[in-house]
Structures are given as structure tokens and as C-alpha cells.
């Protein structure tokens, strides 16, 4: 087994991380600049506080440990759109401010979209399963590359948001499932269904939706999820696993080595590079695939 971090560069044209530091990040999404908390940005800011204030259209302020409010400029428009170029197409993301500081896309995931596209293009008509799929960036990337995509998330409004992104991207035929990810995978394993690629982006904690809501805690359930997922991944399939928790890269690699048999495993940080030359780590990522 070959172990290395295979780097796939994102190609954002209308997103950039302007600056990061002192527990915050300043980002441009198209014409909108947002200021949000970022616990990993522990170094000093490069730009002045005055620069940050002048640049930002919306600033997120926590009300408690889980949610908060946005303070916006008077002329701020609450809904806007950005695109990402992939395979001669444009993936479209409809953005808005949420109470959990998200805006509808995780820009660092573009490096994974490039990897997913490279895998799908080598296997026409691939069946791809996207778990904890949020607003569908990976689903759009796989679909735009010719894959047959099943998108699973436990929160119906989020799945509806992803569906809007598909329509805005002029794509079609992604299958939407509102269900707990582990429940869905267990059922697929019983049915003997196989996928050519599995993408999962589990939260550290969560309360599932759908017909049989369950609570999720990454450290307690990731091992079982990977065990079940290994039953539905085809022998020549690939896996993408993202985590935003305290699990180390070596822990992720150990889990993958136990449950899967990949020729290639790449483990590393997903990062954003700021205009002020900082490198901001946003979480861990593991990719496994066979050639």
C-alpha cells in the first residue's frame, strides 16, 4: 500500500480567503465578504482591524456555544450565488447566512471535488454515494463528471438546498434521500448494493432527521459506519472521508486500513491559503483508491 498526500489544487475564481488570525477569518464569496470565527487561526491578523471592518459585509457573532447572529451592512442582499469551474461546466452554489455561521459551501472541499472528478472520469457511469452530503458540492462534482449520484443527508431543508444547487448548475437526476447516514448504509449492505465511490463528511456531533432520527457522535459511531460502508464499496472503488474533529490523521488511516483494502491511501489536512500568505487548516481528509 502506498501512503502519501496527493494534492489536488482547487480552481476557485470567485472565492478567496483574504486574511485569518486572532480566531477569525475574512473571506470573499463572489461580491460578498464575510467575517467568521475560526478557532484554528491562532496567529495575529495581518490586516488591521479597520481593514477588516471596511471589507466585511456580514460579521458572525456567537450568541451561545452553538449558534449566533449576523451583523450585516445596510445594503446587504441576503441571497447570492457563486460558481466553481469543473469539466467545462460551472457548479453553482446558492448562498445565504445561517445561524451556524455557514453560508452554504465549504471552499476547501474543492480539492476533493477535483479528486472525485478524476476518479469518476476514469470509470464512466460510476455509482457514487455521498453521505452527510450538506448542500451537495461533492454530489454536483460527481454528477458533472458523469456519475450516477445518491445524496444522503438527514436534514430536509439542507437536501432541498442541495437540490436548488443542482438545478442552478443545470444538472439533473441526483437521487435525494433524507435519512440518517448509518441507517441508510446498513440497509444498502443488506440489499447487496455496491457503489464505485463513497464520500462522507460526518460532523463531530449531530441530531439526525428523517423517519428514524438518531444522535450522532463521531468517536462513537465512525468505526461502525466505516465497517458497514466497506460492505457496499466495489473492489475498485474509492473513498473520501473528511472530519472536523480532534481525530488524528493516523487514527483515520488505522480505521481505513482495518476496513478497506486500498492500493493508495492519502491522508492530510485540507487547507485554505490566504492572500496574506497564511495556511489555514480546516480539517483532516483521507482518500483511498485502487488503480
Give the mean pLDDT of the chain: 92
Q: What's the domain count of the chain?
A: 1
Residue 278 included in any domain: yes
Q: Which residues pair with 198 in a beta bridge?
A: 129, 239
Q: Where are the alpha helices (DSSP H) in 155-279?
A: 156-168, 181-191, 218-229, 249-259
Residue 17 included in any domain: no
pLDDT at 183: 94
pLDDT at 260 over 70: yes
We report the CATH number of the domain holding residue 250 as: 3.40.50.150
Tell how far CA 83 is from the center of its chain. 15
Range with the poorest average pLDDT among 112-121, 196-205, 272-281: 196-205
75-87 pLDDT tens trace: 899 999 999 999 8
pLDDT at 10: 87
pLDDT at 250: 92
Tell how far CA 78 is from the center of its chain. 22
The domain of 266 spans 2-8+108-289
pLDDT at 8: 75
Percent pLDDT > 70 in the chain is 94
pLDDT at 80: 97
pLDDT at 246 over 80: no
pLDDT at 219: 83
Residue 190 included in any domain: yes
Percent of the chain as helix, strand, coil, to the nearest 5 = 25, 35, 35
**pLDDT band with cut points at 50, 70 and 90 for residue 102:** very high
**pLDDT band with cut points at 50, 70 and 90 for residue 4:** low
Q: Which residues pair with 289 in a beta bridge?
A: 264
pLDDT at 180 over 70: yes
- Distance, CA of 231 to CA of 261 (rounded, Å): 12
Residue 118 included in any domain: yes
185-235 pLDDT tens trace: 999 999 999 999 999 999 876 665 555 556 778 888 999 999 999 999 999
- Distance, CA of 123 to CA of 281 (rounded, Å): 31
Helix 249-259, helix 218-229: angle, nearest 10: 30
The pLDDT of 67-75, averaged and rounded, is: 92
The answer to whether 282 and 271 have CB atoms below 8 angstroms apart is yes
pLDDT at 210: 52
Amino acid at each position: 500500500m502506498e501512503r502519501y498526500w496527493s494534492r489536488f489544487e482547487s480552481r476557485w475564481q470567485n472565492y478567496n480567503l483574504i486574511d485569518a488570525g486572532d480566531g477569525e477569518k475574512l473571506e470573499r464569496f463572489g461580491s460578498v465578504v464575510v467575517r467568521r470565527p475560526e478557532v484554528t487561526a491562532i496567529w495575529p491578523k495581518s490586516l488591521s482591524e479597520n481593514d477588516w471592518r471596511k471589507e466585511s459585509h456580514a460579521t458572525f457573532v456567537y450568541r451561545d456555544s452553538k449558534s449566533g447572529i449576523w451583523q450585516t451592512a445596510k445594503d446587504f442582499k441576503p441571497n447570492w450565488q457563486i460558481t466553481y469551474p469543473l469539466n467545462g461546466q460551472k457548479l453553482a452554489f446558492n448562498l445565504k447566512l445561517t445561524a451556524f455561521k455557514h453560508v452554504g459551501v465549504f471552499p476547501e472541499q474543492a480539492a476533493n471535488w477535483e479528486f472525485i472528478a478524476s476518479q469518476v472520469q476514469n470509470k464512466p457511469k460510476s455509482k457514487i454515494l455521498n453521505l452527510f452530503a450538506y448542500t451537495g458540492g461533492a454530489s454536483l462534482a460527481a454528477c458533472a463528471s458523469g456519475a450516477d449520484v445518491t445524496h444522503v443527508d438527514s436534514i430536509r431543508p439542507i437536501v432541498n438546498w442541495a437540490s436548488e444547487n443542482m438545478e442552478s448548475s443545470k444538472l439533473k437526476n441526483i437521487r435525494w434521500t433524507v435519512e440518517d447516514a448509518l441507517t441508510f448504509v446498513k440497509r444498502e449492505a443488506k440489499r447487496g448494493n455496491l457503489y464505485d465511490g463513497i464520500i462522507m463528511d460526518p460532523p463531530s456531533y449531530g441530531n439526525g432527521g428523517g423517519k428514524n432520527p438518531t444522535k450522532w457522535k463521531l468517536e462513537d459511531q465512525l468505526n461502525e459506519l466505516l465497517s458497514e460502508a466497506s460492505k457496499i464499496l466495489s473492489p475498485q472503488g474509492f473513498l473520501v472521508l473528511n472530519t472536523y474533529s480532534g481525530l488524528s490523521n493516523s487514527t483515520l488511516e488505522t480505521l481505513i486500513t482495518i476496513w478497506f483494502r486500498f492500493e493508495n491511501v492519502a491522508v492530510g489536512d485540507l487547507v485554505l491559503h490566504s492572500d496574506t500568505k497564511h495556511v489555514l487548516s480546516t480539517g483532516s481528509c483521507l482518500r483511498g483508491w485502487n488503480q
